[in-house]
Structure 1
Amino acid sequence: MPASKHSRKTPAPRVLWKGAISFGLVHIPVALYSATVDHAIDFNWLDKRTMDPVGYKRVNKKTGKEIAREQIVKGIEYEDDQYVVLSDEEIAAAYPKTTQTVEIEAFVPADSIPFVYLERPYYVAPINRGAKVYALLRETLQRAGRVGIARVVIQTKQHLAVLVPTGPGLVLNLLRWGADIRPWKDLPLPSESAKKAGLTERELKMAKELVDDMSADWDPDDYKDSFKDEIMRLVDEKVEAGQTEEVTQPEPEEDTGKSSAKILDLTELLQRSLRKGGGKADADDKGKGRDEPAEKPKARKPAAKGAARKRTPAKTAARRKAA
């Protein structure tokens, strides 16, 4: 029987980004690889008459008519039904400067970042004679119980990230910005005090015994996606029965980023970094052998007050969204 899609061999890791980890005056040339594989079911739209892929149209929501790409502009809603239109040039100018650098700003305790901030992991591997410095950073972080908080620009978008030593390597996990995390106070939660929450010692003891009884070591292979397995079972049956259709898909493009990072003598760099206060080295020494870091975004000027109605800054922030 022909192999179904879910039984195919996982493709070899592909480089998604090349650059360097930077802390003090030390640079480590590295490449990023995706740390995850998407096994979710992807239902594509097909024309039942021809089995051609079906795409999406750009439609005017008021008239229902299709709009040509060149007639579309981008706007930000700052108030109900009120928009500020930005040109492609203005948007491009606001993008952070691409530096191809994972710029570590601080080393914090490994257990100080709540899980809710973690967004997307990437494996980090050394390239271009960077293995020794890579190993030094990995071992130092493990022994110190610390992780590196950094900024990185990937595909024109600036991210906050955490560099974590994990087993034999380093993982760069993109973080959500603090402003994107909703506060606990908005939820109807019980009191943090067990007594005020109405819990008795007997209930707590019984609950702990139940948890102890169900305790086990973490093994991801113990947990399966039952929906995906059932869908792929149906796919296998149809493949075996010859109920298939041929659809031509475009080939994926490979990102070929280039790095300008250089490796200097490790001991010298560490000594110079310590003499200059680690990450507080002056701009001249800090910029040797790599691109300059992305500039911090300038403070946004307050919007002019509308003549027809007024609103508070909090309301503006809550309603600001892309058109």
Structure 2
Amino acid sequence: MRAIWKGAVSFGLVNVPVRLYSATENHDLSFHQVRASDGSRVRYKRVAQADGEEVAYRDIAKGYQAQDGTTVILTDEDLSTLPHRSSKEIAVESFVPSAQIDPILYDRAYYIEPDAMGAKAYGLLREALRESERVAVVTVSVRSRMTMAVLRVLEDVIVLQTLLWPDEVRDSAELNHLDEVSEPKESEVAMARMLVDSMAGDFEPSEHVDDYKEAVEALVTRKIEGGEVHQAAGEGDQDDSGEVVDLLAALQRSVDRAKAGRGKAG
């Protein structure tokens, strides 16, 4: 596992040298737009809305659209003047009850691992969080953006969970039909409670399967085995945007394993 960040957690006068690792990975299926006749990838060009002219990457700047619709161009020099905290520090601001943070605010999760010299202080912070049943509210710069986050304990590792800013959560008052929801009768509530009790259980993530992903992979595997593939001339495993095409490679490995398994069975 490769660290994406190296710095220190600071709480009070204690500094804990740590490394940060992504705790999750995205397994979403990725489909590309291709020409149906031969599977050739469809490419997109960056063009200016004003005249349709293609714009070179070196000529692209950052633009911020104001509330009145006007666009303000921000240069690297402009952005360098903005306030920012060291990207090498996770600063603990307070310890709060975890129940006070609504799960809707949780965003990305990262594992925090101590450097060798910070192992003792890491263990101290971990046990303090565990015994207090609180989370540490921190500020941190991850992938160049300053954000709120919390530190919490998961088994034996401290997890940093970034939080959305309050204005990033949409106001539920904007929903259209909530006022049409009526109060249920007590008999209906009692029946619903019985249904909940009859279906009560413990959450076991391993019991839940992404059947759509498995079905797509099985379908693609059958097509590969049947020779229904296209290898367009000049096509590589990576497009201009840097997106890596890894699904086909993973499926090919699955096919190889399946064939090897049939060979052993034979």
Q: Give unmatched runs, 5+ long, in structure 2.
A: 243-266
Cα distance in 2 for residues equivalent to 1:16 and 1:71: 29
Hey, what does 1:63 align to over in structure 2? 51
Equivalent residue, structure 2, for 1:215:
200
1:280-295 equivalences under 5 Å are none
Q: Which residue of 1 aligns with 2:248?
A: none
State the superposition RMSD in angstroms: 2.6
Does structure 1 conserve the Cα–Cα contact (< 8 Å) formed by 2:89 and 2:140?
A: yes
Could you list the runs of 5+ residues in structure 1 that have no partner in the other structure?
A: 1-12, 253-323
Does the aligned pair in 1 maintain the 2:87–2:142 contact within 8 Å? no
Please tell me the residue identity of whatever aligns with 2:224: V
- Preserved CA contact (<8 Å) 1:29 1:127: yes
**Mapped pair 1:189 → 2:178:** yes
Distance 1:167-1:111 versus aligned 2 partners, 3 A rule: same
2:76 is the counterpart of 1:91: no
Q: 1 or 2 for the larger relative contact order (CA 8 Å, sep ≥6)? A: 1
Under a length normalisation based on structure 1, what TM-score does the superposition of the two structures give? 0.66
What CA distance in whole angstroms lies between the structure 1 residues aligned with 2:39 and 2:172? 49
Give the distance between the partners of 1:50 and 1:32, measured in 2 at CA: 43
The equivalent residue for 1:72 is 60
The alpha carbon displacement at 1:184 in A equals 3.4
Match of 2:246 in 1: none
Taking a change above 3 Å as real, the CA distance of residues 212 and 171 of structure 1, as seen in their structure-2 partners, is same
Cα distance between partner residues in 2 of 1:44 and 1:198: 47
Tell me the equivalent position of 1:22.
Answer: 10
CA distance in 1, matches of 2:191, 2:36: 58
Cα drift, residue 175 of structure 1: 0.2
Q: 1:53, CA displacement in angstroms?
A: 5.5
CA distance in 1, matches of 2:72, 2:26: 37
Please list, as runs of the form range in 1=range in 2, the aligned pairs for 1:221-300 lying within 5 A after superposition. 221-245=206-230, 247-249=235-237
SS in 2 for 1:30: strand
Alignment of 1:18-167 (within 5 A): 18-45=6-33, 54-94=42-82, 96-167=84-155
d(CA) in 1 for partners of 2:92, 2:58: 41
**Is the contact made by 2:38 and 2:230 (CA closer than 8 Å) also made in structure 1?**
no
Partner SS for 2:86: coil
Aligned equivalents of 2:206 and 2:47: distance in 1? 45
Contact 1:98/1:156, CA 8 A, preserved across alignment? no
SS at match of 1:111: helix
Q: Distance in 2 between matches of 1:47 and 1:98?
A: 47
Q: Is the 8 A contact 1:97 1:156 kept in 2?
A: no
With over 3 angstroms needed to count, the CA separation of the structure-2 counterparts of 1:160 and 1:249, relative to structure 1, is same
Name the structure 1 match of 2:256.
none
1:139 Cα offset (Å): 1.2
What SS class does the counterpart of residue 19 from structure 2 fall into?
Answer: strand
Per the TM alignment, residue 200 of structure 1 is displaced from its structure 2 partner at its CA by: 2.1
Residues 82-91 or 34-43, more deviating: 82-91
How many percent identity over aligned positions? Answer: 35
CA distance in 1, matches of 2:83, 2:220: 44
1:108 alignment partner, SS class? strand
- How far did 1:80 drift? 4.0
1:174 aligns with 2:152: no
Contact in 2 for aligned 1:96/1:157 (Cα 8 Å): no
Per-residue displacement from partner, 1:5-42 (whole Å, max 9, x unpaired)?
Answer: xxxxxxxx221111111100101111111111211101
In the alignment, residue 128 of structure 1 is paired with which amino acid?
A: A
The question of whether the paired residues in 2 share the 8 Å contact of 1:33 and 1:123 is answered with: yes
Q: Secondary structure at the match of 1:129?
A: helix
Structure with the largest fraction of helix: 2
Q: Distance in 1 between matches of 2:32 and 2:102?
A: 36
Deviation at 1:199, TM superposition (A): 2.1
